[in-house]
Structure 1
């Protein structure tokens, strides 16, 4: 099974065999994920941040550069939670969920039908960047935590720019702040566990990006990159997810799953002491574990960058 991780900002975003990078991020290091198992997990994860994404979508919809939205490409749709939200926020638009995993596209279709959005939500199987030509033109391209899983980010952005209709826009969910789920001092182990996990995850992410096809290092100045591919920056905003403790069952399960993934992927990048602390946190019977603590929370920020066609 592919190793995957959450470590920073963004629970939505799924291209080919990878999802996200951010407060909820998944990458990949070869192999295949069991998407029948992962699908519900990804759906629940996105649902936790639904209000965060709703605020972001409404901000994008209100920008002067975003007008007459009739066709939206949700690039890296995953199971379709945000796809359906975009259908609700852009009620006159056809929404195309673009993903490289058929099982997740099936979840998009099922969710759209449940929400009576099946007449406006379509799915498109595409492996990016190779299949950019399959996407066709759009008024809005929404790419949440998927661009950084493409080796040549500048080239893909240029491809997006070429797909935009006059007056169209690209909305990137990239950047933000690392998620925090525990106090700095949790009473076991050395204080600052999540900061050390973040550092290990950043190294892991750099290694992952280096293995992508056509990988090239790019300064993540999105406004500058927009300009270089013929797009005009329209605005940048960050949106907060703040779930204070004690957490509900779904949110607590999300935190447990997050730590379990980090334990799996970063085992060779963390100290034995930190791994032992994580094992205690994951133990349902441990009074200091995540299942029983009242101080477990979720706090993160996702940043949205928007640019319009010149």
Structure 2
């Protein structure tokens, strides 16, 4: 049965220099995913003793790092990100959670510095490979950092969030469908311009196998925040729509651009901060694989 989350938290799809509440990862999703990883690794007592070091690649403000530290109480967790601001947020979060002694941070430019991160029993990465030119090479590099028996968990390219009805009473019906299509085209164009870009069929279990690992299962998590949304979710969506307008504004037709501007109006009842019909629905899929342990 696919779990559904109706609690706090949203995706961290587009990280930037925004307040942490605007890019808060899915707290419910991370808790469930972390427990699932532990189950895949084997009996609880044996896994707790065996997992001593975890890497959270592309950690952002450290939500996954802290959750993994809770689920694997004997492990030291390293939050790895290229943003010093995000790493500072991760340090604050860890201290507030009482995990400051076990969650540390490290700044790294990825994927060039994967090999310098040291060996790990578990590696978690979310929405990182899609921003790298050669995704297969990135997986091979991550796999090389695993200890024998270790696990790599990759969360990439889930279902795009939906948060508006087809007809919102302003502009032309179907706004979000058109925005999603424009964003996908922009993503494709950006990938084509990445250094060392290599085309690959994004079959993640197959890609993990090609990296020398044994796939151990994929699982999807449904994130369902029904209307009416709380303030944190609304602020997240306001930030998301503002980024979309900044990125696509010149490419949109006049009606859609004006509709976006109305949605961003913080004083208007038609704005995303006030609409009673705004919701949040998405799905995240996590793919896992392990490095075979050599026979004794």
TM over 0.5: yes
Structure 2 residue ranges without an equivalent (≥5): 1-9
Residue 65 of structure 1, CA deviation:
6.1
The answer to whether the Cα contact below 8 Å between 2:22 and 2:239 also exists between their aligned partners in 1 is no
- Gaps of at least 5 residues in structure 1 are 1-9, 13-23, 27-32
Deviation by residue 1:49-77 (Cα, 9 ceiling, x = unmatched): 21122111111121146942211100001
What aligned pairs does 1:99-114 form with structure 2 within 5 A after superposition? 99-114=81-96
1:13-32, aligned counterparts within 5 Å? 24-26=13-15
Distance 2:133 2:95 in 1: 34
Normalised to the residue count of structure 1, the TM-score between the two structures is: 0.85
Aligned residues: 278
Partner of 2:3: none
How does the TM-score come out when normalised to structure 2? 0.89
What secondary structure is seen at the aligned counterpart in 1 of 2:24? helix
- What is the Cα-based RMSD across aligned positions, in Å? 1.7
What are the within-5 Å matches in structure 2 for residues 1-310 of structure 1?
A: 11-12=11-12, 24-26=13-15, 35=17, 38=18, 40-41=19-20, 43-47=21-25, 49-64=26-41, 67=47, 68-310=50-292
How far 1:285 moved relative to its partner? 2.9
Q: Distance in 1 between matches of 2:270 and 2:235?
A: 16
Judge conservation of contact 2:14–2:23 (CA < 8 Å) in 1.
no
Kindly indicate whether the alpha-carbon contact (under 8 Å) linking 2:82 and 2:108 is maintained by their aligned counterparts in 1.
Answer: yes
Instruction: Please give the per-residue CA displacement for 1:195-244, whole angstroms capped at 9, x wherever unaligned.
Output: 11110000111111122221111110111111111111111111111111
Q: Secondary structure at the residue paired with 1:165?
A: strand
> Which residue of structure 1 lines up, in the alignment, with residue 7 of structure 2?
none
For 1:147 and 1:216, the matched residues in 2 are separated by 12
Structure 1 runs of 4+ aligned residues shifted over 4 Å read none
Q: Could you say which residue in structure 2 is the equivalent of 1:4?
A: none
What is the aligned partner in structure 2 of residue 17 from structure 1?
A: none
1:109-134 Cα distance to aligned partner (Å, 9 max, x none): 12111111011111111111111121
SS at match of 1:175: coil
